[in-house]
Amino acid sequence: MASEEQLALSGLIKSVHQRLRDSSKETPPDQVWREHLQNEDLLRRYAVAMHTLATCYWDKTMEVSCKKDNSRIEWVVNSCREYFFRSRLLNLFREKDDKVMKALENFNYQHHPYEISRVRLLDVGSCYNPFSEFADFEVTAIDIAPAHESVIYCDFLEVPLGQSLTTDLKPSSIDSLPLGYFDAVAFCLLLEYMPSSDQRLLCCQKAYAVLKPEGILLVITPDSRHQGANAKLMKNWRFTLGLMGFTRIKIEKLEHVTCMVFRKSIFKEVSERWCRIHKEDYMTAVLNIPQDFKNDTMSNEDDDQGEHVEKSVEDMVEIREMFGGLPFVDDEMN
């Protein structure tokens, strides 16, 4: 059973997401997002809540786990290792791509080995840089509210894309991200933070731009409903990302999350062909989440609860800072 602290922390996260979505129905989402970035106190409390949930509850009790014996973090790591180092999925989808291209045109393409010693990973919405502990990963961890000194400030929606990875002098923020540079991009519980479909689409388009050909986008999204309840929604995600040039190569529906891997196709014609063949009447180029279809606004009771949990988290933050600052892993868990 969830503790009082866990309920308060998760309540804060949900109330922030809900208020962003509600505000975006009356005000342009980009304006809502910019105003959100100016609320430093709320961002700080949000960061503490996410960090505490991840390190004290999710990755310890496995409540938001992707298998009974490993966490969402390990799921991302294992998926990357399986794809890049064991290469079974990589070679399988190369073969599928070749068959499609041969059917479409006079095709003769020579594949080269995808050889890397470390996975260049862009962790968007990283919070506390959990992937830094893995020696076979070279991590660029970014967030709008870093909860650890190794995480660099960056608004992924606004950051320019260029030819190199550039930071400011500290470096505490990123000035630009490089095109075609990363082997993998991770969106762990990120897209539902964005209040509109267009902003989620932009995140995925930027991920596509910074990935190498055959690089992968790993998406973990909350989903506590039964198997198949959100199947149409997830198939529409597959359709929408397919139009961008992504091929979905793996999906796992688990107790509290849906985990997906999308591959940046060498040939965009392959993913576009899948979209043409499998398009159904309900499919459109949007990225909706289940919460988009709930009631327009929180009830007064929900709003009061949101204020209550935010006050509870504020009290917890003050207590933690009295004893030395934010509850980083080394401080709290060892």
Give yes or no for a contact between 272 and 263, defined as CB atoms under 8 angstroms apart. no
- 143 among the known binding-site residues? yes
Torsion of Cα atoms, 191 then 195 then 196 then 201, to 10°: -20
- What is the C-alpha separation between 87 and 158, in angstroms, rounded? 34
Q: Is 285 left (phi over 0), alpha (psi -120 to 50) or beta?
A: beta
Of 221, 157, 212, residue with least CA distance to 187? 221
- What is the C-alpha separation between 92 and 83, in angstroms, rounded? 10
- What is the C-alpha separation between 282 and 110, in angstroms, rounded? 38
- What is the C-alpha separation between 283 and 302, in angstroms, rounded? 32
Binding-site residue set for S-adenosyl-L-methionine: 125, 143
Binding-site residue set: 125, 143
